[in-house]
Amino acid sequence: MSIASTDRIYVAGHRGLAGSALVRRLRAGGFENLIVRIHDDLELTDPAAVRRFFEAERPQHVLLAAAKVGGILANDTLPAEFIRENLAIQTNVIHEAWRAGVRRLLFLGSSCIYPRDCPQPMKEEYLLTGPLEPTNRAYALAKIAGIEMCAAYSRQHGAQFLSVMPTNLYGPGDNYDLQSSHVLPALIRKAHDAKARGDDALVVWGTGTPRREFLFSDDMADACVAILKLPDAGFNSALQAQPPLINIGCGVDLTIRELAELVARVVGFNGALRFDTSKPDGTPRKLLDVSWLKRLGWAPKVSMEQGIAVSYREFLARREVQTAA
């Protein structure tokens, strides 16, 4: 393997949904030499601060999960913040990782990089073949720039910097703020609040017809670690693909209506679903082609119902702590 359990690994964004899952998976796999920094100690949009960090710490591998993320509402109302902050974070980290001699870097993007009306399931080769979804175009363009930056540093400098594109993630550490959350955590919170209030209906944005794929965050982390641990031949074959990126998902999707029904069942909300068709649906369908991972022999372990139940328990525990405070 090209990575040892004693190697120094920097997980950027370790407190977020993806980053915290990566830390859990690495520690469970015996990787204890992890480097993490909270936002107050390292501002990733500050190039000088990032340079000082890499010069001092000299990580051997980097998992770049730090990003400004959000759902349809946040992306649609704050496009300037989404493109500016994400471009700054990834530019600083990727460049300084190369300067510091980092051996391997995984850049985490999102399935929203693909065209709005992309053929399904979405293969890596479909990147840049059509217009993006307008509501999250700024975020998607930033992530596409990150993919190209990794590819450019690999092609010009021989760096092993690879991009991975997870599908919609959920799990421990998720964001349940209704102004900025993604659809699944938003539904968990809405269903819980509707149950607590005794409402007779749960309001769901849109028509309920768009289809989405979801992956438990710990499954995503497991796939990333499997890729990071590949022998050079396997890792380099992914770098030589066009484009050099790997989809990470489960290969199965469901409608927003079906998702809302599943969340309501897990949370214990027994009322009706009411769809607010004045709200946007977003992309009609986003299902990833995960042939590369299947060839690797990887498959997710956590079912949707199991994952939502874990997420809901963590949501309740957080609420209890906030109430006690």
**Which are the catalytic amino acids?**
139
Supply the Cα-derived Rg of the chain in whole angstroms.
19
* CB-neighbour burial class of residue 204 (10 A; exposed 0-12, middle 13-18, buried 19+): buried
Q: What value, to the nearest 5°, has the Cα angle with vertex 27 and ends 25 and 31?
A: 110
The torsion region of residue 198 among left (phi > 0), alpha (psi -120 to 50) and beta comes to left
Q: List, in order, residues 6 or more apart from 71 with CB less than 8 Å away.
A: 180, 181, 182, 183, 186
Buried b (16+ CB within 10 A) or exposed e, 162-194: bbbbbbbbbbbbbbbeeebbbbbbbbbbbbbeb
Q: What residues contact 173, with CB distance under 8 A and at least 6 apart?
A: 15, 16, 17, 20, 21, 217, 314
Half-sphere exposure of 207 (CA within 13 A, CB side): 7
Helix (H, G, I), strand (E, B) or coil at 1: coil
Max CA distance (Å), the chain: 60
Three-state SS at 110: coil
